[in-house]
Structure 1
Amino acid sequence: MDQEIQVNQQRPSQRQQRGGGGEEDHGATARTTTAPSPPQDEQQQAHQAAVAVHGQGQGGGATAERHHRSKLTLLPLVFLIYFEVAGGPYGAEKAVSAAGPLFALLGFLVFPFAWGVPVSLLTAELAAALPGNGGFVVWADRAFGPLAGSLLGTWKYLSCVINIAAFPPLVADYLGRVAPAVAAPGRARTGTVVGMTVLLSFLNYAGLSIVWWGAVALGFLSLAPFMLMTAMAVPRVRPRRWAVQVEGRRKDWRLFFNTLFWNLNYWDSASTMAGEVERPERTFPRALAVAVVLIAVSYLLPLMAAIGATNAPPEAWENGYFADAAGRF
């Protein structure tokens, strides 16, 4: 009996202990399952992230549209390639004086396609595969290592500096047909060359959009006189004059091919704009195809017009002769 009483007295205490332990377990479970409230800065970050996502949903289209407009599209790219390669039929007269009208016309008919098409296809393929502004430097680096890329970039830079330096004096030769003071060495010629260099340099520093659409405007401006001259020459053209040969002296083939190559080179320079082009895998091939045809036509039509409408000997074809021919119509 006494043992039963002792057992009954122990059971409530055990139940209390078990109950207390249950409360402790429940409290521990509650503490482990209840997540602590995030700090204030984490709440602010979460709120900012939500606002950013919401803003992208609301204004992402406008941002994408602005980004879309900032990319280089087909028409500006065509004229940028046009100026990289040709810039107009200026300087093509030497081909006529070197080998005669027939070979000059054949050269500017064949060379843009025999040389320009393969190089432009190569440029389009690699620019689409590696769409960055490094262009040919990146190609050489990927293929042959950083030394080759560095050397190619240095040589190309020096080549472009020497090549570009020839254009302001060439334009001065043409202006000299209208203003004789510009043709002769002196302050007028120096001022013309320096002023043109400063103006074009300023356009490059003004921003990409100005360069793009400036190239389009300059393209139409440079082609307009030759288009007008060609239209005026059509009634006077005599096709038999296109077949005139150089007589009494040997043809200067070195000058002839140098003139063709100088006027129709630098197709790969367009690759340094690949990072700015919208959808380069599609835009680059189209722009290069249009540029090949545009460049070939911009040389052939003025040459055919000036040769067919004038009866000048090949020796008379010096820099600026197009202006002289236009003055005879």
Structure 2
Amino acid sequence: MNQEILMTSRQPSQNREQQRQEDPQSHGTRAQEHAPHDQQQLQNGQQTTVQQGGGQRKITLIPLVFLIYFEVAGGPYGSEKAVRAAGPLFTLLGFLIFPFAWGVPESLVTAELAAAFPGNGGFVLWADHAFGPMAGSLLGTWKYLSIVINIAAYPALVADYLGGSVAPAVADPGRARTGAVIGMTLFLSFLNYAGLSIVGWGAVTLGVVSLAPFVLMAAMAVPKVRPRRWALQVKGGKDWRMFFNTLFWNLNYWDSASTMAGEVDRPERTFPRALAVAVVLIAVSYLLPLMAATGATDAPPDAWVNGYLADAAGIIGGPWLKYWTGAGAVLSSVGMFEAQMSSGAFQLLGMADLGLLPSIFSRRAARTGTPWVAIAASTAVTIAVSFLGFDDVVATANFLYSLGTLLEFAAFLWLRARHPALKRPYRVPLPLPALAAMCAVPSAFLAYVCVVAGWRVFAVAGGLTALGVGWHGVMRVCRAKKLLRFNNSTVVAADLQEDAGDDTV
């Protein structure tokens, strides 16, 4: 699909009347025109108006399931440090409980709001409609930087797996590793340019191939499993900070696919179904391999470093399964890179459609429909941060994501409280107090992730947040003075309303 979402949120009544006269088809029915002021603006914001190239939406249920799968997990690769930090038992409990205690609430929020606002940009649209352009821009900054910082971990993770099996030279810092990381980043970004449909069905293929060795490993491990091995303890104290950061890093980003909602076929139906399937798939894809690897091998928790799952597969099934698992790690990292690069690029496109970024970020390739400027920008940022330490990448990405998700939950509850009549093709079947309780559990965990992040992460996240606020201010000046071209100049009116203290949505 080559569609754009034309958002008309928070315009003064005079501007709305003028636009109704110029384009009556983009502003709902005559009955909607007599709705309350803020409700009418939200309904206007839901309208899909422009089709580019006459294309159709391309992402259907199965590709969306695997895009979500790679946004969130991509398999158990990268989970090894949880075993090293807290031991097998706590790791198994974590991957049993966390997908449901954390994944289900965020999936429900994503399903409702992605169906209510089926446009590219996802959570940026939600915060923008709830709290205004500043909130949308700041949430977009946090989430986008979290995504691209997270993406930077995947080429490094691939290098770790390759270094442990077929290319030892890329395992240690040096020119070989630097060249490998940059080369993989550029190559995978170019693949993303091929089109979202190709990325979606490619995710299906990569998912099946990368999960297959773990299915075999779990089956072959059954007669070798000794439950007592699951109770092995780590030497010294448990590293809870590393444990929760690793757990969170492996199981967040449930809402990232919402940034591509404008490309999804019937998002009001497809998103809830895809998220429900993905929750189960992701929980199983972690639990079975970890139960097999920890229960069928005698390796102490200290041996669990990135790449150990391939060694465990070799112990259980032989060298052929080890190399297949290692290859699966590479394929899984490719899938995660592609899915999250698409999410970040379409987020920038959605922000450009809203007028929060210059219109250049909404440019699409003529043949593939991909936002090529947004992909190029994301690639540059990814390379710039790709040489941070793995632990720093995980902690910083988690911190920024936590800030954004707390604001996202607030937007969800605010829209439910202030706009209960807003059209929601899918609606979480709970009253507002129950929704607040539902969001409280993951919010408490998000707060914990922020508190234990450490001073270096605080400093980096604080600097990036200040950069985001400053960027929003620069964009306001550029819109007002027409220094850059924007798709939606009406956001200037909303900025003026914010300055005047107008609390309308």
TM-score range relative to shorter protein: 0.7 to 0.9
Specify the code of the residue in structure 1 equivalent to 2:192.
N
Specify the code of the residue in structure 2 equivalent to 1:284.
F
The answer for the alignment partner of 1:143 in structure 2 is 130
Q: How does 1:103-252 map to 2 (within 5 A)?
A: 103-179=90-166, 180-246=168-234, 248-252=235-239
The answer for the alignment partner of 1:32 in structure 2 is none
Q: Do 1:81 and 1:288's aligned partners in 2 also have CA atoms closer than 8 Å?
A: yes
| TM-score, length basis structure 1 | 0.76
| TM-score, length basis structure 2 | 0.50
The answer for the alignment partner of 2:69 in structure 1 is 82
2:80 to 93, 97, 108: 93
Q: Do 1:97 and 1:315's aligned partners in 2 also have CA atoms closer than 8 Å?
A: yes
Query: How many equivalent pairs are there?
Result: 263
Q: Which has the higher helix share?
A: 1
Q: Do 1:68 and 1:278's aligned partners in 2 also have CA atoms closer than 8 Å?
A: no
Between 1 and 2, higher relative CO (CA 8 Å, sep ≥ 6) is seen in 1
Q: Secondary structure at the match of 1:328?
A: helix
* In 1, Cα distance between equivalents of 2:171 and 2:223: 31
Q: Secondary structure at the match of 1:302?
A: helix
1:306 to 272, 283, 293: 293
**1:200-259: per-residue Cα shift (whole Å, max 9, x none)?**
21121111211111111121232223223223322211122122233x411111111111
* In 1, Cα distance between equivalents of 2:240 and 2:169: 33
Query: What runs of 5+ residues in structure 2 fail to find an aligned partner?
Result: 1-53, 317-505
Specify the code of the residue in structure 1 equivalent to 2:208.
F
Q: Which runs of 4+ in 1 moved over 6 A?
A: none
Q: Which is higher, the Rg of structure 1 or of structure 2? A: 1
Q: Which is worse superposed, 302-311 or 69-78?
A: 69-78
* In 2, Cα distance between equivalents of 1:231 and 1:133: 41
**1:249-289: per-residue Cα shift (whole Å, max 9, x none)?**
11111111111111101111111111111111111111001
Q: Percent identity, aligned pairs only?
A: 82
Specify the code of the residue in structure 2 equivalent to 1:87.
G
The answer for the alignment partner of 1:35 in structure 2 is none
The answer for the alignment partner of 1:265 in structure 2 is 252
Q: Do 1:119 and 1:267's aligned partners in 2 also have CA atoms closer than 8 Å?
A: yes
Q: Do 1:177 and 1:324's aligned partners in 2 also have CA atoms closer than 8 Å?
A: no
Q: Do 2:169 and 2:176's aligned partners in 1 also have CA atoms closer than 8 Å?
A: yes
1:71 to 25, 40, 58: 58
* In 1, Cα distance between equivalents of 2:211 and 2:163: 19
Q: Secondary structure at the match of 1:166?
A: helix
Specify the code of the residue in structure 1 equivalent to 2:226.
R
The answer for the alignment partner of 1:59 in structure 2 is none
Once the two structures are TM-superposed, the CA of residue 70 in structure 1 deviates from its matched residue by 4.2
**1:79-124: per-residue Cα shift (whole Å, max 9, x none)?**
1001111122111011111111000000000000000000000000
The answer for the alignment partner of 1:31 in structure 2 is none
